[in-house]
Structure 1
Amino acid sequence: MTHPPHLDLLPTVLVVDDEVRSLDAIRRTLDEDFTVFTASSAEEARGLLERQAVSVILCDQRMPGQTGVNFLKQVRERWPEVVRIVISGYTDSEDIIAGINEAGVYQYILKPWSPDHLLDSVRNAVEAQTLQRQTSRLDLELRTSTVVLRQRTTSQVVQARSSFGFDRIVRAQGSPLEGVCTMAERVARYDISVLVLGESGTGKELLARAMHYASPRQTGPFVVENCAAIPDNLLESELFGHKRGAFTGAYEDHLGLFQRGTGGTVFLDEIGETSPAFQVKLLRVLQEGEVRPVGGARPVPVNVRVIAATHRHLEERVRDGLFREDLYYRIAGVTLTVPPLRERVADIVPIARQLVQNVAAELGHPGAHLPDDTLACLLGYGWPGNIRELRNEIARALALNDGPQLGASAFSSRVLQGRSDGAADDLVAAVPKSGTLAERLQVIEAMVLRETLLRHRWNKTRVAQELGLSRVGLRAKMQRFQLESK
């Protein structure tokens, strides 16, 4: 082991190779620009790392006892932040390439190497290591100033509560949603986990956000992740963070959602879509109150409240072995169920009117409104996609409509037909599977008649002309199918 007297003035490099001539050649190449340490085995190198901070390691792949890649994996676990790694070898097999990725190797230098190339590689590695330290220091400074950065002023909290509070969840008087909001508001003040159940598009995230701004954590962040939108390996990185070099494409440290949400609320949507393997890691985080970033050597403490949501029946998935029972009880401190729109029909009108205002402002359609006959049409549809589907239909109607009044004809045919089976252009799908031919044809006849009446806004003259009926015949059919009134 050798090093020059000006040890503290130059970046330090450790060269690990069992061949004396190779060690000497690399040392002479780097000696003028770096403080060079040498070791002839992995064991000797580990001992040196215990005593001396090192910027870069150059390690030969073929050494007796332990390969360079396996040694560098251990280095990554023990010294992930203070050592930048360069490997020197003369093979490019798939096993070596896979090992290089696992070890977080900065660069792979093939033999025979040139002095200029080796020198440039080590210089770049030292520069990357210096930038990493600067990034870590800045990150620490940001995290230590959470009081300044994350705590919101009283006026900002008041504004947020006015925008996302429970009173902004649109509902009619006596709606089934009233009881859900009352219970959610009571639970919000206590720092316990909440599980929100309900079909997609019912407003589960809106309820979770209202709970956050009614809780003692209201000055902290509210962060959201859709667990169904990304695969497990990326979900772990998004939630728990990762270290630079942890995997291919990890070019810098990444703070996970749990770290960014410290002091606030983490909303995990569609948690029922996660795999059992990921559920184990999430359970550990919730139990221990700390996360281990991917590629990190030490856990990081976090302080968050978790609100989870899913459209799945989690108890059934627990029985089927698809969801861990211990995680279920961890996240379901309190369970809230948001009813679908078809079970709270009275909410459709106020929600539709609010959506018209919001979407019209976004699309530049001031003054847009829904007449009574259009509202009657919306009330006659089952809305399997809930509020999300209603919003899409209103956006479509605003885009296709010329004037401020949104007539029923601006909506899709499945809404006009009052059908929610998803087959808007296939009338056969709505026909009963039993009964006589005449009975089945009556279903189609009533559906066509209702759609035409809605499209022409109950103008019987136009409906009769389109369907080839007399006004007397049309009136008889309307009475037969109980369509004599809007």
Structure 2
Amino acid sequence: MSAPLRAGNGRLPAVLVVDDELRSREALQRTLEEDFAVFTADGAETAQAVLEREAPLGGVQIVLCDQRMPGTTGVEFLKGVRERWPDSVRIILSGYTEAEDIIAGINEAGIYQYLLKPWQPEQLLLTLKNAWNISRLQQENQRLSLELRAAEPVLKRRVEMKYERVKREFGVDGLVRAPHSPLNAVVALIGKVAPFDLSVLISGESGTGKEMVARAIHYGSRRAGRAFVVENCGALPDQLLEAELFGYKRGAFTGAYEDRIGLFQQADGGTIFLDEIGETSPAFQVKLLRVLQEGEFRPLGGARPVSVDVRVIAATNRDLEAEVREGRFREDLYYRLATVPLHVPPLRERTMDIPLLAERLLEASKRALGKDCDGFTGEAAACIAAYRWPGNVRELQNEILRMLALTDGPRLGAELLSPRVLRTPVGETQAADLSLLAGLDGGLKERMEQLEAQVVKEALIRHRWNKSKAAAELGLSRVGLRNKLERYGLERK
């Protein structure tokens, strides 16, 4: 007969039929040859030779063997096949008389199935097709297992590297600050309280980066490898907020078509950050207090409470102590949340951080917009540093995104800034700079001149070096302004 097609790559799987009776071999071959590449052998010795010959060419996937053969039994032969070619699927054919002998040797020979004579063609084909599918699945599983074992060190290292990057970005190293920034005191406190499962209440104006501080606490704790979940409590009414945090059962309310796991359950083992906690109602505060006290809650429509292990970090832009005195916030909940109170200073109180923060936000903006630039011009940087940023970090971030979107040049110039940033009132700038007057060099006259030079320069930058407008703002004539520019060396280069 011609050489059968090899198994694999869409070709037929190979079957070896071992039977000492010629008519039986021919009948089996006719039944199988449409769906399989069939090899035949009249005994154990011939079958052994076929297996040896075919092994380098892809091997034989299925061995179909008669039990009664000269010199050995089918079970004994298949035991040897299992030792040398363990990936093959072994099937035994026999009459009724040897059933007990075969059953006794099935486990030892690793026989997939035992078929009785006389066999039916449909049953035989179905058995061999199932055997081939199982063989392919086993081989695929073995291949994947080997690949996973080989890739495990690489994958583990990649996960570790990604985790380290996340910790650098969202840990305390991600809180941008200058060497003498007031934020350093916050970072020091984070380092002390993060490792312990204490509730933290973060206060500060909107946009100061309270969520970043909460993430730094999470990534400095033993929960760093688990979930960090965020919910803005001021954005939802009570019922929706309760459904978001505690989850619900199907049918709990109109539109609840399926069960939903709440954020507290999603954060189990990790941290949940509740922003704008001061916006919640007294009724909801009672339910939140139970979670903090008992470590359990009941989903909407649920019959049984759910226990969770969650660290709670809350934030507010309100004075919660005043809210407690006015009766708008529960005193017992306040003390549960404020085990460690932490205040984030506004950007106007840490002006030394603004240049560093602007550079970091610019890098993030370039990634977000997919647009590159070489940084800020000196004028733009001076305007950014002079502005008080009442919207804090969020306002600064939006301003930089706007500048990057509008620019056509290699650097972000002052002309791209919003009018409110360019037109910072001089009195406001002077009020902040007067606090620095004592730290300037020289006597009183020299210090006043340094401050005057700074005020003149900022006025020019705000008016894009339009000397007429700068002179009008400063109450000087153009000649007077020109004299000061020459005196202080402030001519634009």
Question: Scaled by the length of structure 1, what TM-score is found?
Answer: 0.58
Whether the 8 Å contact between 1:417 and 1:450 is mirrored in structure 2 is no
Q: Which amino acid aligns with 1:297?
A: A
Deviation at 1:234, TM superposition (A): 0.3
Q: CA deviation at 1:485?
A: 8.4
Q: Deviations over 1:12-31 (max 9, x none)?
A: xxxxxxxxxxxxxxxxxxxx
Secondary structure of the residue aligned to 1:228 is helix
Residue 180 of structure 2 is aligned to residue 174 of structure 1: yes
1:284 is aligned to 2:305:
no
* Corresponding residue of 2:461: 454
Aligned to 1:295: 301
Is the partner of 2:315 in helix, strand or coil? strand
Q: Give the counterpart of 2:393 among 387, 391, 406.
A: 387
Q: For the structure 1 residues 293 and 381, does the alpha-carbon distance in structure 2 shift closer, same or farther, using more than 3 Å as the test?
A: same
Cα deviation for residue 370 of structure 1 reads 1.0
3-state secondary structure, aligned to 2:216: helix
Corresponding residue number in structure 1 for 2:357: 351
Counterpart mapping for 1:135-146 below 5 A: none
Counterpart check, 1:336 vs 2:334 = no
- Provide Cα deviations, 1:216-262, integer angstroms capped at 9, x if missing partner: 11111000000011111100000010011100111111100100000
SS of equivalent to 1:382? coil
1:483–1:269: structure 2 CA closer, same or farther, 3 Å change rule? farther
Task: Give me the whole-angstrom Cα distance separating, in 1, the residues matched to 2:477 and 2:320.
Answer: 56
Whole-angstrom CA distance in 2 between matches of 1:268 and 1:485: 52
Aligned amino acid, residue 326 of structure 2:
D
Tell me the residue number matched to 2:222: 216
Q: Secondary structure at the match of 1:352?
A: helix
Alpha-carbon RMSD: 3.2
2:227 maps to a residue whose letter is P
Quote the residue 1:367 is aligned against: 373
Secondary structure of the equivalent of 2:234?
A: coil
CA distance in 1, matches of 2:184, 2:489: 33
TM-superposed CA distance for 1:263, in Å, is: 0.3
Is the 8 Å Cα contact of residues 222 and 261 (structure 1) preserved in structure 2? yes
**Whole-angstrom distance in 1 between the partners of 2:361 and 2:426:** 20
CA–CA separation in structure 2 for the residues paired with 1:394 and 1:452 = 21
The answer to whether the 8 Å contact 1:365/1:404 transfers is no
Task: Describe the shift of the 1:465–1:289 C-alpha distance in structure 2 as closer, same or farther (beyond 3 A).
Answer: closer
Instruction: Determine if contact 2:324/2:330 at 8 Å carries over to the other structure.
Output: yes
Question: Could you tell me how far 1:382 is from its partner in structure 2?
Answer: 1.1
1:419–1:221 CA distance, 2 compared to 1 (3 A): farther
Counterpart Cα distance in 1 of 2:400 and 2:383: 13
Query: Is the CA contact (8 Å cut-off) linking 2:382 and 2:458 kept in structure 1?
Result: no
Which secondary structure does the structure 2 equivalent of 1:268 belong to?
strand
Q: 1:15-30 to 2 correspondence within 5 Å?
A: none
- State how 1:79-478 maps to structure 2 within 5 Å: 154-419=160-425, 453-454=460-461, 457-458=464-465, 460=467, 471-472=478-479, 474-475=481-482
- For the residue of structure 2 that corresponds to 1:309, the secondary structure is strand
Q: 1:477 to 1:282 in 2, by over 3 A?
A: same
* Distance apart, 1:377 and its partner CA: 0.9
- For residues 195 and 426 of structure 2, the distance between their equivalents in structure 1, rounded to whole angstroms, comes to 39
Q: Which residue of 1 aligns with 2:431?
A: none
Change in CA separation of 1:463 and 1:345 when aligned onto 2, cut-off 3 Å: closer
Displacement after TM superposition at 1:156 (Å): 4.5
Q: Write the distance in 2 (CA, Å) between the matches of 1:257 and 1:212.
A: 16
**1:388-416 CA deviation, whole Å, 9 max, x = no partner?**
00011111111222112111121111111
**8 Å contact from structure 1 (residues 269, 310) kept in 2:** yes
Number of corresponding residues: 308
For residues 240 and 363 of structure 1, what CA distance do their matches in structure 2 show?
36
Q: Which moved more, 1:198-207 or 1:451-460?
A: 451-460
Distance, in Å, in 1 between the alignment partners of 2:177 and 2:426 is 22
Q: Does the 8 A contact of 1:356 with 1:368 survive in 2?
A: no
Larger Rg: 2
Cα drift, residue 163 of structure 1? 2.2
Return closer, same or farther for 1:464/1:340 CA change in 2, 3 Å cut-off.
Answer: closer
- Cα 1:197–1:465 change in 2 (3 A) is closer
Structure 1 residues 452 and 194: CA distance shift in structure 2, 3 A: closer
Checking the alignment, whether the CA contact within 8 Å between 1:382 and 1:419 is kept in structure 2 is no
**Cα offset for 1:387?**
0.4
What amino acid does structure 1 have at the position aligned with 2:163?
A: V
Q: Deviations for 1:432-483, whole angstroms, at most 9, x for unmatched residues?
A: xxxxxxxxxxxxxxxxx9887225643648978999x97415437989xx99
SS at match of 1:267: strand
Distance change >3 Å, CA 176–CA 471, structure 1 → 2: same
Corresponding residue for residue 84 of structure 1 = none
**Structure 1 outlier segments of 4+, above 4 Å:** 152-156, 449-452, 459-467, 476-479, 482-486
Identity of counterpart residues, as a percentage?
60
Structure 2 distance, partners of 1:366, 1:463, is 32
State how far apart, in whole Å, the 1-side matches of 2:214 and 2:472 are: 52
Match of 2:440 in 1: none
Give the Cα–Cα distance (whole angstroms) in 2 for the partners of residues 401 and 284 of structure 1: 52
Q: What is the TM-score when the length of structure 2 is the normalising length? A: 0.58
Distance 1:453 1:413 in 2: 14
Q: Distance in 1 between matches of 2:256 and 2:489?
A: 63
- 1:34-73 to structure 2, matched below 5 A, reads none
Check conservation: 2:209, 2:393, Cα contact below 8 A: yes
CA drift at 1:154 = 4.4
Q: Does the Cα contact within 8 Å between 2:373 and 2:412 map onto a contact in 1?
A: no
